Amino acid sequence: MTPSAVAPETSNRLLLVCVVAEEVLPFDVKVPNATTVKPMRAADMGQGKRQKSADALF
């Protein structure tokens, strides 16, 4: 680790301290649109397309 790096546990703690202090997440929470929600719901029900590998998704 370089001298200027922050340990992951320290960065997590800083994030949580900021969330508690400001009562808000430090990033926008995006709601999925209808095009995204449809396959998500299908996957939840065990439906949808299956790929043989992660490379097949792209």
pLDDT tens-digit series, residues 17-51: 999 999 999 889 899 999 999 989 999 999 988 88
In a domain, 34, yes or no: yes
Give the structural domain span for 17: 8-49
The pLDDT value given to residue 2: 60
**Rounded to 5°, angle at Cα 44 from 40 and 45:** 120
In a domain, 55, yes or no: no
In a domain, 21, yes or no: yes
Whether pTM exceeds 0.85: no
Asked if pLDDT for residue 12 goes beyond 60, the answer is yes
Q: How many domains does the chain have?
A: 1
Q: Please tell me the distance from the alpha carbon of residue 24 to that of residue 31, in angstroms, as a whole number.
A: 16
